[in-house]
Every structure is written in C-alpha cells, then in structure tokens.
Amino acid sequence: MNITGNTLFIPGGTSGLGLGLALRFRAAGNTVIVGGRRQELLDQITNEHPGIHAVRIDTADPASIADATAQVIANYPELDSVILMAGIMQAEDLTTPDFLATSERIITTNLLGPIRLIAALTPHFASRPSATIVTVSSGLAFVPLPVTPTYNATKAAIHSFTESLRVQLADTAIQVMELVPPKVATELMGNADAADSMPVDEFLDETMSIIAAQPDATEILVDRVKFLRFAEVEGRYDAVLTMLSGH
C-alpha cells in the first residue's frame, strides 16, 4: 500500500485508531472517508477536518453495510483501499450462560462485519488498477486475554481469514495487509488511562513509518506487539498466557 494517493474508506473511523489513521492518511495526501454509527462524531470530524468525508454505517447490520458501501463507491468511484477498523471489546463470564448475547454481538461486529464489508467491496476493488484491503486483528489473536474470550476468538479468526484472503487474491491487483495492534490507549475496554497502554500517537507514528518503509508488508507489527505475536514461536506462549490470566 502506498502511503499517498489512495482513496481510503475507514469504517470505524469515528474514534481511536481509526480516526488517528484517517488524519494521518489525509495529511499524507489521501482522500479519506470515515464511517461509524455516531452521527455527531461524523459531523464533528468533517467540520474540523475539511477534506475528510464521512458516511454513516453500522457494520453489525448487513443492510447498512450494503447502503453505505454503495454510497461510498458511487460518490468516490476511485475508491481503492479500506481499513476494516470497526470493532468492540467486552469482558465475558463464561461460568454462566449470560455471556451469550455479548458473544453474539462481538462476533457480528468483529468477524461478520469485516467479512461482509470484504464481500461488498472486493468486486469494486477488482475493477481498480490496484487496491488494498487492511484487516485489523490484535496481539490477542495470538495469545488470548482470558477475560475477553469472544473478542480474542474473533481476532484470531480475522487473522486466519486474512491469510486465506491473501492467497485467494494473489493473482489479482488487490493487496491484503493485516494491522496487528498491541494494547493502545483508546476508549476500547476503557484502555485510555491504562499505564501499560501504548500512547495513540506513538502507535500511529510507528504504523505509518512501517507502511511507508514496507508498502508490501503482509502484517503491520509495531515493536510492542511482537511480545504477543511471536510468543508461541519463541516458546513463551504458556508464560504469556499465565501472565494474561492474572496468575
């Protein structure tokens, strides 16, 4: 993915990492369209950042995905990139059946959402000279945080889906990248004030410089996430799982 010259859609761009990347990519000379459910944030972003465009989308709703992607393609026919950023993270107590509604909600947003967006956008991307799909997993795809079981499972599934997608699209001009964030100080799970969270600006700086230096990278790995990403291959899996279990 080139760092400049793209027309980039970021569903999940109203806050946190999505908004941060929207501003960075806009500053780097891309056309950027952010999406999300919170209309007041979409209005605020377009008012404060002329040049950033917005579309309302609920990625848990297939009809909303169909409407919003059709709108974006119609209004920005040069659309050639997407960062599938929309996601939620919630704790679940698996010792009672009460977790099920939360689990289903997380799967709908974090797994079905990106899959439905890929289905909606890939035909258009195939018509472009080149295009990029960026999926968003997590370090927790590689070692689970036991308090958020379904979240970890959806991110592991996104990692696996991304690997297959890349193979199946290998003969096309559509590139597939996976962004694998560590714990970053956003509103996700109230991480904003956690002492062990990576500051958002540091994450954005490092991420943009990795993409600029390695436009063909398959995974975007800031240094901080390697602890989780390579735990198993480096023989540290059990120790890291014990640490994440709070034991």
Catalytic residues: 151
Number of other residues whose CB lies within 10 A of the CB of residue 246: 8
Half-sphere CA count of 88, side-chain side, radius 13 A: 18
- Binders of ligand NAP among residues 120 to 139 (CB under 6 A) are 136, 138
Does residue number 89 form part of the binding site for ligand NAP (CB under 6 A)?
Answer: yes
Report in angstroms the alpha-carbon separations of 130 from 50, 56, 171, 243: 26, 26, 12, 42
Question: Smallest distance, Å, CB 33 to ligand NAP?
Answer: 13
Stretch that binds ligand NAP, among 23-31, 36-44, 159-167, 229-237 (CB under 6 A): 36-44
Tell me which of 28, 37, 163, 226 binds ligand NAP, using CB under 6 A: 37
**Identified binder of ligand NAP from the candidate list 171, 187, 196, 216, rule CB under 6 A:** 187
Site for ligand NAP in 190-229 (CB under 6 A): 191
In which residue are the tokens 């600006």 written? 201
Cβ-contact 135, 179 below 8 angstroms: yes
CA atoms within 13 A on the CB side of 162: 27
Report which secondary-structure segment, H or E, holds 241.
helix 237-244
Select the residue interacting with ligand NAP from 4, 38, 201, 238 (CB under 6 A): 38
Stretch that binds ligand NAP, among 71-79, 83-91, 168-176, 212-220 (CB under 6 A): 83-91
Cβ at position 173, least distance to ligand NAP in Å: 26
Contact range with ligand NAP by CB under 6 A, out of 54-62, 69-77, 122-130, 239-247: 54-62
The verdict on 18 binding ligand NAP (CB under 6 A) reads yes
**Nearest to ligand NAP of 57, 174 (CB atom):** 57
CA dist., res. 92 & res. 103, Å (int):
8
Burial 69-78 (b: 16+ CB within 10 A, else e): beebbeebee
Q: Pick from 28, 41, 147, 157 the residue near ligand NAP by CB under 6 A.
A: 41
* 114 lies in the site for ligand NAP, by CB under 6 A: no
Residue 112 touching ligand NAP (CB under 6 A)? no
DSSP 17-84: HHHHHHHHHHHTT-EEEEEES-HHHHHHHHHHSTTEEEEE--TT-HHHHHHHHHHHHHH-TT--EEEE
Q: Does 183 participate in binding ligand NAP (rule CB under 6 A)?
A: yes
Rounded CA separation 103/199 (Å): 28
Q: Which residues bind to ligand NAP, rule: CB under 6 A?
A: 11-18, 36-38, 41, 57-60, 85-89, 109, 136, 138, 181, 183-184, 186-188, 191
